[in-house]
């Protein structure tokens, strides 16, 4: 971990907060290495069931760090495996993740949010892919994830123009699933994370694996994978406990096994 990313644990929820207030939380190596290290730690910590990625009230993140990138040549980014080397840990993270977005989520900031399983926004959140204005393209996943999230027409519109989307538009088009007043965003996100984290961790992980497949496979293969995961839940003690608790009219007590 480092100062550019703050780590906190509340109950079974791990929180990683991007912390570069002087640069609108622009994403440099320090931030991306910090996020990767925090996710590694939370993945290995059995008591963590859900992770929140957040920024400040002003900016979730205003994109990749332009000052760091401006003098890069092709050979630098190719040789050093720019983006691929430290931006994609969220892609392989196996527990549920929530991006809590207030303020600007621009370029790479929007892309990091889209790598999370859920995006909750404050009412002051602003999303955009402004890379066209600096002569490049959204290269941390948005050309693929944005059309899947909001459809082709809006994705092309946003990327070709670089225009900002408000929180309510983002909700309307399915880029985020909830919008809260700015002052309530973290408390509401934590409350939701706490509820999710009370469920069976292996059931959550199997569910995430199955849902994530839907972006990668044809329908029939995805359905076959889902069915295998469903059958796998029948090997869980927690599945027995959940069903028994329902029939016995008592709260379930999951042991994450």
Interaction residues for ligand HXC, span 107-126 (CB under 6 A): 107-108
Give the helix ranges, DSSP H, for the chain: 29-44, 66-69, 74-79, 89-92, 108-115, 142-150, 152-161, 167-173, 185-197, 201-213, 219-233, 237-247
| 25 versus 210: smaller Cβ distance to ligand HXC | 25
By CB under 6 A, tell whether 83 contacts ligand HXC.
yes
Is 88 known to be catalytic?
Answer: no
Name the nearest CA neighbour of 94 among 214, 224, 223, 210: 210
Is 57 known to be catalytic?
Answer: no
Q: How far apart are CA 244 and CA 253, in angstroms?
A: 10
By CB under 6 A, tell whether 36 contacts ligand HXC.
no
Is 131 known to be catalytic?
Answer: yes
By CB under 6 A, tell whether 60 contacts ligand HXC.
no
Site string for ligand HXC, 63-82 (x = CB under 6 A): xxxxx---------------
121 bridge partner residues:
101, 179
Q: Are the C-beta atoms of residues 125 and 106 closer than 8 Å to each other?
A: no
By CB under 6 A, tell whether 31 contacts ligand HXC.
no
* Closest distance to ligand HXC from the beta carbon of 62 (Å): 4
By CB under 6 A, tell whether 140 contacts ligand HXC.
yes
Is 241 known to be catalytic?
Answer: no
Q: How far apart are CA 246 and CA 251, in angstroms?
A: 7
Q: According to CB under 6 A, which one of 1, 37, 132, 134 is a site residue for ligand HXC?
A: 134
Half-sphere exposure of 147 (CA within 13 A, CB side): 9
Q: Which residues bind ligand HXC (CB under 6 A)?
A: 23-24, 26, 62-67, 83, 104, 106-108, 130-131, 134, 136, 138-140
């Amino acid at each position: 971990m480092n100062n550019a990313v703050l780590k906190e644990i509340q109950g079974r929820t791990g929180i990683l907060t991007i912390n570069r207030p002087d640069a609108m939380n622009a994403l440099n190596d320090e931030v991306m290495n910090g996020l990767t290290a925090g996710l590694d730690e939370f993945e290995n910590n059995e008591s963590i069931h859900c992770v929140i990625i957040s920024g400040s009230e002003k900016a979730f993140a205003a994109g990749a760090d332009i000052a760091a990138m401006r003098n890069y040549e092709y050979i630098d980014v190719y040789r050093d495996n720019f983006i691929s080397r430290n931006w994609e840990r969220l892609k392989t993270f196996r527990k549920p993740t929530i991006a809590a977005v207030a303020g600007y989520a621009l370029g790479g900031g929007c892309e990091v949010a889209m790598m999370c399983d859920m995006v909750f926004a404050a009412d002051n959140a602003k999303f955009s892919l402004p890379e066209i204005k600096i002569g490049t393209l959204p290269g941390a996943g948005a050309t693929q994830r944005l059309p899947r999230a909001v459809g082709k027409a809006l994705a092309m519109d946003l990327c070709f123009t670089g225009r900002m989307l408000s929180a309510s538009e983002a909700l309307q088009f399915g880029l985020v699933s909830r919008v809260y007043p700015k002052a309530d965003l973290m408390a509401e996100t934590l409350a939701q994370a706490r509820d999710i984290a009370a469920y069976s961790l292996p059931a959550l992980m199997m569910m995430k694996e199955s849902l994530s497949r839907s972006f990668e496979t044809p329908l029939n293969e995805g359905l076959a994978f889902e069915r295998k995961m469903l059958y796998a839940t029948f090997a869980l003690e927690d599945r027995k406990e959940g069903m028994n608790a329902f029939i016995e009219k008592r709260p379930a007590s999951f042991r994450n096994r």
